[in-house]
Amino acid sequence: MALTAEQIKNIGIAGRVTSSFSILGTITIISAFVFSRHFRSPIHRIIFFNSFFNLLDSVATMISVSGPETGDYSPICQFQGFALQMFPLADVLWTLAMALDTYLVVFHHYDAHSLKKIEYKYIGSITIITFIPAIVFLFIRSSTKGPVYGNETIWCSISPNWLVLRFALYYGPVWLAIGLIIICYALIGIEITRLRDEFKLTDDENIALTSNVPNNRFVPEQSQASVTTTIETNSSDATKLPHTSESHITSSSSVHQVVTSHPLTSNSTPMNYQSPKQRRVSFKQYILMPALFFLALLATWVAPTINRVSTFINPDYQSYSLLIAVSSLGSLRGFWNGVIFTTIGMKGWKRHVIEKNILNRNGRRLHC
């Protein structure tokens, strides 16, 4: 059954409203990253890069039903089709990049500097993978099928006449990437479960990750005085702890406190020992945040995929409620990214402020 003009209008309104939320979320991400150093972890950086893709994606979804209304060959329809081919797929690949970062942290002990070195590879590969087919489709025409980008009721994208192409080079790569993300998180979950003694959730919601590198130098936990040492969240190079003064080892990632004690007299007898060769990985930044982005990704892609499978089975099938869901959820990518980015980032910032206050108090006590 064909949609009425009123229904199409409602679909357009829903798409534009949710697109405006996404634009607001994207601007929030960019602003927080630029103006606050507390949003500079490797995962935050990936979200920041992705936000520019999200912004152009939101511009395309903001056009909404106006694209099909101008005709398949119009510049507006072709631009919308190009944008909706490239940028939603890029969003999925950036989520895969977050999963790969988490995998590298857990299995290969990558630190913030190591992760930063591979960011240009993410930027280059994701841009090339998504841009090439999107730009090529602009020049494909057929006397029987028309252009690749055409009327899809709620916006312009790969038209129903090119449905096989849409499955092969759009939904196929999307769900392949989602499958790889699931595999990454499954392996990470298995590894954390298997190494319970090495991965421990602590009170400040960090994972203590032992590097398994032999170290003959041990630090006693109990003595007559204590010294506060701040170690960068995921640095594998912090192998030595100071004896007599406060030390800071920092980088672009979050910092968390490890309070250890050192004997100030030669007669003190150590009772318990711990290896200083230990890294603390932020559970929220490296596991929880990417996992939430993945869940938001699934919520975004389920409705469009159901709609596409339905039209593949029955080309004449159109569901008003399903198209409303596709238009709304498909336009919320930037919004969900902004919510997760700021919510978890603010909690990390508050934790940093608390730890800084504790560090200052410990420093004053030590001087006294």
- The pTM (predicted TM-score) of the whole model is 0.74
Contact 229, 241 (CB under 8 A): yes
Q: Report, at the CATH architecture level, how domain 5-195+283-356 is classified.
A: Up-down Bundle (1.20)
Angle between helices 172-194 and 75-108 (to 10 degrees): 20
What are the residue ranges of CATH 1.20.1070.10 in the chain? Answer: 5-195+283-356
List the one residue out of 254, 261, 301 whose CA is nearest residue 282: 254
pLDDT in single tens digits along all 368 residues of the chain: 678 999 999 999 999 999 999 999 999 999 999 988 878 888 889 999 999 999 999 999 999 999 999 999 999 999 999 999 999 999 999 999 999 998 998 888 888 889 999 999 999 999 999 999 999 999 999 989 999 999 988 999 999 889 889 989 999 999 999 999 999 988 988 887 776 655 554 444 455 444 333 333 333 333 333 333 333 333 334 333 344 333 333 333 333 333 433 444 444 434 333 343 444 555 555 677 777 878 888 888 988 888 888 888 887 778 899 999 999 988 998 998 888 888 877 765 565 556 566 666 666 666 66
Q: Using H for helix, E for strand and C for coil, what is the string for the chain?
A: CCCCHHHHHHHHHHHHHHHHHHHHHHHHHHHHHHHCCCCCCHHHHHHHHHHHHHHHHHHHHHHCCHHHHCCCCCHHHHHHHHHHHHHHHHHHHHHHHHHHHHHHHHHHCCCHHHHHHCHHHHHHHHHHHHHHHHHHHCCCCCCCCCCCEEECCCCEEECHHHHHHHHHHHHHHHHHHHHHHHHHHHHHHHHHHHCCCCEEECCCCEEEEECCCCCCCCEECCCCCEEEEEEECCCCCCCCCCCCCCEECCCCCCEEEEEEECCCCCCCCCCCEECCCEEEEEHHHHHHHHHHHHHHHHHHHHHHHHHHHHHHHCCCCCCHHHHHHHHHHCCCHHHHHHHHHHHHHHHHHHHHHHHHHHHHHHHHHHHC
pLDDT of residue 56: 95
Q: Are 346 and 39 in contact, with CB atoms under 8 Å apart?
A: no
Contact 159, 147 (CB under 8 A): yes
CB proximity list for 202: less than 8 A, separation 6 or greater:
208, 280
The first and second tokens of residue 355, run together, are 């730890």
pLDDT at 339: 87
Sign, CA torsion 354/357/361/363 = positive
d(CA 342, CA 340): 6
